Chains A and B, each alone.
Chain A
Amino acid sequence: MSELRISSIETRGVPGKRRYAMVIDLRRCIGCMACQVACKAEFDVPLGVFRTWVPHKVSGKYPTVRKMFLPRLCNHCDDPPCVRACPVEATYKVDDGGFVLQRYDRCIGCKACMASCPYNARFMLPKHRTYTDITRVVDKCTFCHHRVTQGLVPACVQTCVGRSRIFGDLNDPASEVSYLVDSLPTQVLRPEEGTKPHVFYIGADRAHTEFGRKIYDPEGLVEVERAVFNKNHS
């Protein structure tokens, strides 16, 4: 495994270092969005932004149609571009575990990390929040660092009714995620970017993981909704 390491920040196969990863078995995802709700509840994630989200697409033509879900979150990359891009080290990678985390009190809000993330996993927290006073800094999924360090699994994994999300240490050959990644064909999002994502998918469809021409000519309704969204989040 070590021969696949390119950057010194990567911990693939480094003895004594854990490398947490999530496998999402799309054959088991029913699109109930419980993961999204659990995440919102765990972190008081404000309206309009998401640490995890579940986009879906319908492919094929009747009667051969299929609704495909692709749960998304921060990929906690082994070589995270956001860590490189932050001018003040407000975002950093935890060496043992591989969590990519955010120092809220240091973030200046330049959004360089958002620009560098190929997965749209980062967002700006709004000015006003009801229960939490962390505002106007960049936020993202933490792989539930606070839970994992207590021996629990992330909230989205805990709540997944179809057991579609599986979490564990990829550097541990006995873990379930290692078994799944080693024994089944898995996909990662945008592998060409060299980020070495730690979110693996089983059964991801190209229609979902790749850019489609459709975005050049999106349906009218989507654009109307986007205009309303932009107005509310400007």
Chain B
Amino acid sequence: MGDFNVFHIMPWSGAYAIYFFVIGISAAMFFFSTLSWFRPEFQTLRFPAFAVSFVLMGAGGLLLIGDLSQPLRFLNTINPAYMNFTSPLAWGALNLLSFGAVSVAYFVMMRKNDEAMSKKLAVVGALLALGLPIYTGFDLTVHQNRPVWNTPLMPVLFVALSLLSGAAVAAFMAKEEKLLVMLRRFMLWSAGAVAAMLVSLLGTTAYGGSAAELTFMFMTSGALGAVFVGLGILLGTAAPIAVLLTQFGRQRGGIMAAGALLLVGGIALRYSILIGGQIVQTYY
């Protein structure tokens, strides 16, 4: 009774989770397009996967710019006089722009049927694509005051989530059986990695300091419990792993069902991790 504090907002809204989701899929799709130069199973995905990656990269960039309170000043992030390389956002802006430039060059070279150059650009683009989930993970990791975020797991977790979501989308585009088999493996291994990392994340959060413990409570039995545990862990990670391990999970229908569940899990986990790290401090 009688307590008073002013209200504080969560700086990063749920829109960032959508950006993480979209850019993660974009990165993975480019990776699959690159794989097509080295693995014949992926050959049919070469252009469609690139097209999805390119569209999603554009959508993600617009989401990111739209979320700024001064959208036109996004140009400041690429102004060499302003760049602050202690901020992962500065690296991220460069990564995203160079990924976009390489994507355009890759498209042009593919249209010209210059296979040698396309292959080289595909490799460079795949490395830059890998940087996207890594930098988004670092965006969260560097905030030492935020429970859940401030763990070395974040960049790796985001890479695994990116692969998993990308493989799920690719499964809906795959026509050949061989490709589906490969995508099933990607889904299974990346979902397994996510599950293992979630166990570690829950452990370090539950046994962290008071803010981390309260965050654990919010994310499991509190306001985020349904999204994080229900949609993210059970429906979006455990269930698809179980489906993929069954006989049904080796068939087209099963792989697609698992893919749909993984996509639900991918967005739910990103959302709950993003919001979970911010709840407790709004009361401080």
Contacts and interface: CB of A to CB of B under 8 A. Distances in A.
Interface of A: 50, 53, 55-58, 67, 81, 83-90, 106-112, 114-120, 123-124, 136-137, 190, 192-194, 210-211, 213, 215-216, 218, 225-226, 229-230, 233
Interface of B: 1-9, 11-12, 67-70, 73-74, 76-77, 79, 82-84, 86-87, 89-90, 92-93, 139, 142-146, 209-211, 214, 217-218, 222, 278, 280-284
Contact of A136 (B69, B145, B280): B69
- Max chain B C-beta neighbours (<10 A), residue from A83, A216, A233: A216
B145 A111 contact: no
Given A211-B214, A226-B7, A229-B7, A108 B68 contact: yes
A215 B142 contact: no
Contacts of A110: 67-68, 89
Contacts of A84: 84, 86-87, 142
Contact of B9 (A58, A192, A233): A233
B210 A210 contact: yes
Given A67-B2, A84-B87, A210-B210, A108 B73 contact: yes
A193 B222 CA distance: 25
Given A85-B143, A106-B82, A109-B73, A230 B9 contact: yes
Contact of B144 (A193, A226, A233): A193
Q: Which 3 pairs, one residue from A and one from B, show the smallest C-beta to C-beta distance?
A: A109-B69, A118-B145, A114-B11
A83 B93 CA distance: 17
Given A88-B84, A211-B211, 9 more contacts: A55-B5, A85-B89, A87-B84, A87-B90, A88-B73, A88-B77, A111-B11, A117-B145, A118-B144
A53 to B, nearest CB: 5
Nearest to A211: B210
Given A81-B144, A109-B68, A115-B12, A88 B90 contact: yes
Given A58-B1, A229-B7, A89 B214 contact: no
A232 to B, nearest CB: 10
Nearest to A112: B89
A120 B86 contact: no
B187 to A, nearest CB: 31
Contact of B76 (A88, A124, A233): A88
Nearest to B76: A88
A218 B223 CA distance: 12
Contacts of B7: 225-226, 229-230
Contact of B6 (A55, A83, A88, A114): A55
A106 B76 CA distance: 7
A183 to B, nearest CB: 29
Contacts of B3: 55-58
Nearest to B8: A120
Nearest to A85: B87
A116 B140 CA distance: 9
A221 to B, nearest CB: 10
A96 B108 CA distance: 53
A218 B279 CA distance: 12
Contacts of B146: 115
A85 B140 CA distance: 10
Contact of B145 (A81, A88, A89, A229): A81
B281 A118 contact: yes
Contacts of B82: 88-90, 106
Contacts of B142: 84-85, 116
Contacts of B282: 120
Contact of B283 (A81, A85, A112, A215): A215
28 contacts: A55-B3, A55-B4, A56-B2, A56-B4, A57-B2, A81-B144, A85-B143, A87-B84, A87-B92, A88-B82, A88-B83, A90-B82, A108-B69, A109-B69, A109-B73, A115-B11, A115-B12, A115-B143, A116-B143, A116-B145, A136-B69, A136-B70, A137-B70, A211-B280, A213-B214, A215-B214, A216-B218, A218-B283
Contacts of B211: 211
Contacts of A210: 210
Contacts of A109: 68-70, 73
A7 to B, nearest CB: 10
Contacts of B5: 53, 55
Nearest to B283: A215
Contacts of A111: 11-12, 69
Contacts of B92: 87
A89 B76 CA distance: 10
B70 A81 contact: no
Contacts of B79: 88
B87 A108 contact: no
